[in-house]
Structure 1
Amino acid sequence: MTPTQKTDLKTDFIVLGMGCFWGAEKRMGEIPGVVDVESGYAGGDLPGAGYQDVLDHERALRTGKATARNHAEVVKVTFDPAKATLETILGKFWESHDPTQGDRQGNDIGSNYRSAIYYHDIAQRTTALATQAAYQAALDAAGIGWITTEILPVKNYIAAEEYHQNYLKKNPGGYCGLGGTGVKYPKPAENVAQSDVPADAAGSSLKSRTPLDSGNLNLAQQLIVFEAENCEFCRLFDQDILNHWQAEVPIVATMNVNPPAGWELEKPLFAAPTIVLFRDGREVTRYTGYNGEKANFWKWLGFQLLSPEQQKIAFQQGTEPPFTATNLDEKRPGKFVDPITGATLFLSNAKFDSGTGWPSFFDPIEGAVTEHEDKTHGMRRVEVRSASSGIHLGHVFNDGPAPTFKRYCINGNVLKFVPDKK
């Protein structure tokens, strides 16, 4: 078709990311009513970038040498709405790749291969969200995970180099890279609900996806766990972390992918679970994914909650100067807890004045601490760590009082004192 013929048609377009654009171009070009499919780059902060620029930037991101958001490989799908509705286009989009993989598609790994729908008006956004909810319900029924597709306004679209256009037509045996979930898009075009979250698309999952009410949250500091149904990693996080939560910072879990009204995520969610720390309604940092690495999670949270002095002790086996801990002379009835997890480590009735300048205890709560051989500084000592978070607390020596004759010499700056309630 000539450029003149294209402009005579009343067409529309949408920009889609499905991994490698070679296979995406072929798949979307097979839809009756599609006028043209063009490979390109979009969604990033690199105006004028080309193929090598995108690859180089992804490597820089992975090595910590860049922070700007990278483009996704995309296809710009131009279609005749009289012959192919936007839902038809998006139905093929959902079926033709795996939208649950985050920053990858099959063997192609990186944020440049993310799943994405980039719309250019509010009607397209509405339809995109409706089809996403419909397809998520189908994935839920099949026991497949959470959609990670980002749905955003189109930004910085750039047509790819000529050798990328119609690549698989030019190279019939070339690499495709696309593999769908095997789940069909479930709804005919005439039944798409025209709302952000269609009531009939999410089915029984809708209640669990109700947006959080910001009025019930702590504006100053709040953790939100964004989970997904049929997510084994979410269940593992709940089992390891959430179900035992004692930390001072409040936490809540939700199946809804959106933040509370008026609160802001820094970027779309890409995997479940994603744990986001909000302050004053804005995302401060996030922990994405979980596969049983409890120490890593608590270390991430610790770097958000602890002061630099506390971090040096907790994560670098530092030691505070003697006689400087504010709780050194604390004698009230109560407990000393892990400053990150809130787990009780020592009771005040096990505390004694050792004269060393550090808070000292003759007995910890059973199972609250772990002991490890320490050969640093030319000495042989026994290091004490918190069993719940893994942070360094101090050392234990065999010169304490009865009945244990142990002296747990602990850095007071990594102990939080909680007095008993009167």
Structure 2
Amino acid sequence: MVSIGRILLGGMLIAMPMHALADVESIVLGMGCFWGAEKRMSEIPGVIDVESGYAGGDVETVSYREVLDLEAARRRGKTDLRNHAEVIRVRFDPDRVSLETVLKKFWENHDPTQGDRQGNDRGSNYRSAIYTSDDAQQAVAIATREAYQQALSAAGHGQITTEIAPLRHYNRAEDDHQDYLKKNPNGYCGLGGTGVAFPGGMTKTVPPPLTADRLNFARQLIVFEAEDCPFCKRFRAEVLDHWTSDLPIATTLNPRPPTDWTLEKSLFATPTVVLFEQGREVSRYTGYQGDKDRFWKWLGFRILTPKQQRIAFEEGTEPAFTGSHLDEKRPGVFVDPITGAPLFRSDAKFNSGTGWPSFFNPVEGAITLHEDNSHGMRRMEVRSASSGIHLGHRFDDGPPPSGKRYCINGNVLSFVPDAE
């Protein structure tokens, strides 16, 4: 007769043979927010279950709200109680994966040098931690820490701040925190830590940082991505694969900036798009969920002049005969000033006498039309299909063959002459 035991896996009580239960080991790890940590560590072959929880604090039992309230009280100096860290309990089969391998992935998948924070999450509840169940685990934890510190130091990183201590006061987190990123796929992907591999190699090597001499020092966009990040793939498919802007852009799987370039703060999610000028970060766009217009608006506010911004984002109008390109007659194409996407060919341009560049046809698929009843008029607004910015209006008093007049603000057009 086989003895049956039960184990809590993913919030469900599962029946397992007692001999199988005896072979399951567990360790409790703090890597910042437990949502991303749970997802990362659950992907390791041989890991049976990952559970979110709280551990390492002075209070025996806590809830998510109580952890946040205690941290707020600590910041105000109202208590000196040690708070719990957000943690994950990793249960694994030691016949399939060793504790050392689990800890290698722990070190590689977060930044253990940040003290009481991880990325943008700040507070002692986001500290890096390894909570062990016996002396053997403690010894492996310390040995892997020393090995990883050597690799970090060689790569120019600071000292590891990870707390290594016996487990105490573990509390399972509420059900809505379990498998959070599976239930909420719009959550951000993690960045994979510092990009420094644990000595002896890792399953997926992180490439070195981008080489600065291959980039544009004056103004450069860099997209920081991560492997297995669905939002990165969506950004690539919807934006990067159609990139026509004259602003140079590069991608990297390494979360560190190019050599001698600087980030204002650590990266905490992917994709993160950073605009560098003179080798320094001036702005960033974090996360992507199919919101192309929002991304282009962010970029537009960084590269357009105030006059252009008023037209593009506030539906402004330049005074007649004051805008750019009114007398431009060379063969070429007028493009979106942010995306670089073609809008109008110069052979569709005509002199309307109105004081604004006028066209009788747009490039196919380049614009969208929207009813505009502002200022007591009924007009058809013209927007760029690629960025969503306001361009001008369409009227029905144009020349053949279309009979339409696309009256466009010249200041939100860029001109690219045809190659001779």
Same fold by TM (over 0.5)?
yes
Tell me how far apart the structure 2 counterparts of residues 215 and 230 of structure 1 sit (CA, whole Å).
29
The one-letter amino acid of 1:197's match is: A
Q: How do 1:56-205 and structure 2 match up within 5 A?
A: 74=85, 111-112=121-122, 116-117=127-128, 127=148, 196-198=196-198, 200-203=200-203, 205=204
Tell me how far apart the structure 1 counterparts of residues 404 and 74 of structure 2 sit (CA, whole Å).
59
Q: How do 1:26-37 and structure 2 match up within 5 A?
A: 26=56
CA 362–18 in structure 1, closer or farther in 2 if over 3 Å, else same: closer
- Asked if the contact 1:233–1:272 (Cα under 8 Å) also holds between the matched residues in 2, the reply is yes
The one-letter amino acid of 2:412's match is: V
SS in 2 for 1:239: helix
The one-letter amino acid of 1:202's match is: M
- Asked if the contact 1:15–1:154 (Cα under 8 Å) also holds between the matched residues in 2, the reply is no
The one-letter amino acid of 1:201's match is: G
CA 73–396 in structure 1, closer or farther in 2 if over 3 Å, else same: farther
CA 176–407 in structure 1, closer or farther in 2 if over 3 Å, else same: closer
TM-score, with length taken from structure 1? 0.62
Partner of 2:247: 249
Tell me how far apart the structure 2 counterparts of residues 401 and 50 of structure 1 sit (CA, whole Å).
71
TM-fit CA distance, 1:201:
2.7
Residue 82 of structure 2 is aligned to residue 52 of structure 1: no
CA 340–126 in structure 1, closer or farther in 2 if over 3 Å, else same: farther
CA 53–230 in structure 1, closer or farther in 2 if over 3 Å, else same: same
Partner of 2:218: 220
1:161-217 superposed Cα distances (whole Å, 9 cap, x missing partner): xxxx9666xxx7996997589xxxxxxxxxxxxx943474334x32x6232111100
Partner of 2:375: 377
Tell me how far apart the structure 2 counterparts of residues 210 and 336 of structure 1 sit (CA, whole Å).
39
Tell me how far apart the structure 2 counterparts of residues 283 and 404 of structure 1 sit (CA, whole Å).
47
Which 10-residue stretch deviates more, 322-331 or 384-393?
A: 322-331
Tell me how far apart the structure 1 counterparts of residues 408 and 146 of structure 2 sit (CA, whole Å).
56
Q: Percent identity?
A: 48
TM-fit CA distance, 1:92:
6.1
CA 175–344 in structure 1, closer or farther in 2 if over 3 Å, else same: closer
Tell me how far apart the structure 2 counterparts of residues 216 and 377 of structure 1 sit (CA, whole Å).
50
Partner of 1:406: 404
Partner of 1:415: 413
- Asked if the contact 2:332–2:416 (Cα under 8 Å) also holds between the matched residues in 1, the reply is yes
Match of 1:283 among 270, 281, 293: 281
Q: How do 1:200-349 and structure 2 match up within 5 A?
A: 200-203=200-203, 205-206=204-205, 209-349=207-347
The one-letter amino acid of 1:392's match is: H
SS in 2 for 1:385: strand
Partner of 1:25: 55
TM-fit CA distance, 1:51:
2.6
1:117-148 superposed Cα distances (whole Å, 9 cap, x missing partner): 49xxxx969716969xxxxxxxxxxxxxxxxx
1:13-62 superposed Cα distances (whole Å, 9 cap, x missing partner): x9964559x94434xxxxxxxxxx779xxxxxxxxx97325789xxxxxx
1:215-242 superposed Cα distances (whole Å, 9 cap, x missing partner): 1000111111111111111111111000
Tell me how far apart the structure 1 counterparts of residues 284 and 146 of structure 2 sit (CA, whole Å).
26
1:46-102 superposed Cα distances (whole Å, 9 cap, x missing partner): xxx97325789xxxxxxxxxxxxxxx9759xxxxxxxxxxx9799569669x969xx
Tell me how far apart the structure 2 counterparts of residues 363 and 176 of structure 1 sit (CA, whole Å).
57
1:367-401 superposed Cα distances (whole Å, 9 cap, x missing partner): 00010100111111000000000000000000011
SS in 2 for 1:209: coil
Tell me how far apart the structure 2 counterparts of residues 54 and 412 of structure 1 sit (CA, whole Å).
56
Tell me how far apart the structure 1 counterparts of residues 264 and 147 of structure 2 sit (CA, whole Å).
21
Task: Give ranges in structure 1 of 5+ residues lacking alignment.
Answer: 1-13, 27-36, 40-48, 57-71, 76-86, 101-109, 132-150, 158-164, 182-194
Tell me how far apart the structure 2 counterparts of residues 262 and 173 of structure 1 sit (CA, whole Å).
43
- Asked if the contact 2:31–2:128 (Cα under 8 Å) also holds between the matched residues in 1, the reply is yes
Tell me how far apart the structure 2 counterparts of residues 211 and 394 of structure 1 sit (CA, whole Å).
43
Alignment: residue pair count: 306
SS in 1 for 2:226: coil
SS in 2 for 1:256: coil
TM-score, with length taken from structure 2? 0.62
Partner of 1:42: none
Tell me how far apart the structure 2 counterparts of residues 173 and 291 of structure 1 sit (CA, whole Å).
30
Tell me how far apart the structure 1 counterparts of residues 177 and 360 of structure 2 sit (CA, whole Å).
62
